[in-house]
Amino acid sequence: MNKKTVLITGASSGIGLHFSHKFAQDGHHVVLVARSEDKLLSLATELEGKYNIKAHVIKADLAEAGASRMIYEHVAAKGIQVDILINNAGFGLFGEFEQTELEKEVDMIQVNITALTELSKYFGKEMVKRKNGQILNVASTAAFQPGPLMSVYYATKAYVLSLSEALANEWKEHGIQVMALCPGATKTGFSDAAELQQSKLFQSGVMTVEEVVDEAYKQMADQKKVVIIPGVKNRLLAGSIRFMPRKMVTNIVRKVQERI
C-alpha cells in the first residue's frame, strides 16, 4: 500500500489495537478513536516513537448520539484526509433476551450499526469524490445466522455484512473498496465483556487477534475479496450454513453458545 492515513475506531484494544500497529509499522499515519483517552495517548506516543508516523487521538464514545459527527468534524478541522476507514468498535451481550438489559442493547445498536453507518457515510462520500479509498467494517461469522443467547449482537452483525456487500457493489465504480471482516471466536477484551469465556463456542478453540488482523491486512492489500473470513474452520462453517435448514442452524448455534 502507498502511505495513507487510516482512521480506526476501537483502537485502544483487541483487533483495533493490532490494526493500529500493523498500519503504523508500514508507515501509514493513524487516527485513533476510542473511549479511553489515556490509552490512546499512550498508544499514539508508542506508535510515533517506533514507526516515525503521525498518530492523532480522538476520544469518543460511539454509544453517544452525535459522536460520529464530532469525529468527522474534528478530522475535517485538522485538514486530515482519511484514506482508509476501519469501523472496528463494537460489543456484544450474552443472555436470554428477556433477561438482558435493554439499555445495553440500545447502546450496542448505536455502536455496531448507527455509528458504523454514519462514519461510512461521512468518510465514504469524501472517498467517492476523490475516487479512491477503502472501508473495512468489522462484522463476524455471527452475521451468517441467527444467534440465540446473543440475539441482538448477531442481528447487528448481519446488518454490517449486508451493508458492506451493498456498498461494495455501489462504490466499486467509484474506485472505493468496501469489505466486511468476519472473524469467528477471537480472544479479545470483547469476549470478556460479553461474558463468553465459559461458552462451548469459546471452549472449542479461538483465533488470536494477530491471526485475524494479519489475514485481514493481507486481503486488504490484495483488494480481491469483499467478505474476509479468517481461518479455514471459520470459512468452512460459514459456507456450510448456506446448505442447512435455518431452524437447524439456529438450534446448533444455541447449543454452542450455551455455557459449559
pLDDT score at 198: 54
pLDDT score at 179: 98
pLDDT tens for the chain, 260 residues: list them. Answer: 579 999 999 999 999 999 999 999 999 999 999 999 999 999 999 999 999 999 999 999 999 999 999 999 999 999 999 999 999 999 999 999 999 999 999 999 999 999 999 999 999 999 999 999 999 999 999 999 999 999 999 999 999 999 999 999 999 999 999 999 999 999 776 555 545 555 555 555 689 999 999 999 999 999 999 999 999 999 988 888 887 888 988 988 898 888 76
CA 176 – CA 61 distance, rounded (Å) = 27
| Alpha-carbon dihedral 87, 226, 235, 18, rounded to 10 degrees | -30
Cα 147 versus chain centre, distance: 18
Those residues with Cβ within 8 angstroms of residue 120's Cβ, 6 or more apart along the chain or in another chain: 85, 87, 135, 137, 163, 167, 178
| DSSP class of 12 | T
pLDDT score at 214: 96
Other CB atoms within 10 A of residue 53 CB: 20
Those residues with Cβ within 8 angstroms of residue 72's Cβ, 6 or more apart along the chain or in another chain: 119, 122, 123
- The CATH architecture of the domain made up of 5-257 is 3-Layer(aba) Sandwich (3.40)
Provide the annotated active-site residues. 153, 157
For the chain, which residues make up each domain, given as ranges? 5-257
pLDDT score at 249: 85
Q: 208 and 186 in contact (C-beta within 8 Å)?
A: yes
Model pTM score? 0.91
Q: 141 and 234 in contact (C-beta within 8 Å)?
A: yes
